[in-house]
Amino acid sequence: MTEQLNSIEQFHQFIETHPLAVIHVMRDHCSVCHAVLPQIQDIVSEYSHATFGVINQSKVEAIAGELSIFTVPVDLIFLDGKEMHRQARFIDMQSFEHQLQLMNDSLER
């Protein structure tokens, strides 16, 4: 399930509430962002501890400063509220999934 995050406060609440959180930052007219979104959603859905949130930087412009984002898309993995992995612009799905799997497995122990 994908949760739409519409403010910095919702973003902080999301990563603090969910032990393993994946965030996809995108913009309205970014074709790469829209192409990557379903691929990341599919990967996240395979992991029991992972939750998925999407932030549209076109609507929440302050997220760029909050996360030091200079380009989109950006996909981030947070473990216990801390950023553990980040990929931007060109997303390597295998690498992203490998990192997510490692973190998901660490929560199962």
pLDDT of residue 109: 73
Q: What pLDDT is stored for residue 76 in this prediction?
A: 98
Helix/strand/coil for 56 = strand
Number of domains in the chain: 1
* Parent domain of 93: 2-108
Residues 33 and 88: beta-carbon distance below 8 Å: no
Q: Looking at residue 55, what is its pLDDT?
A: 98
Instruction: Please state the pTM of the whole predicted model.
Output: 0.95
Q: Which residues, given as ranges, of the chain have pLDDT below 70? A: none
Give the pLDDT of residue 108: 84
What's the chain's average pLDDT?
Answer: 96
| Sheet containing 50-56: order of strands | 2-5, 50-56, 20-26, 74-79, 82-88
Structure confidence at residue 107 (pLDDT): 93
CATH at residue 48? 3.40.30.10
Which two structure tokens, joined as six digits, stand for 57?
A: 């930087």
Q: Which residues pair with 22 in a beta bridge?
A: 52, 77
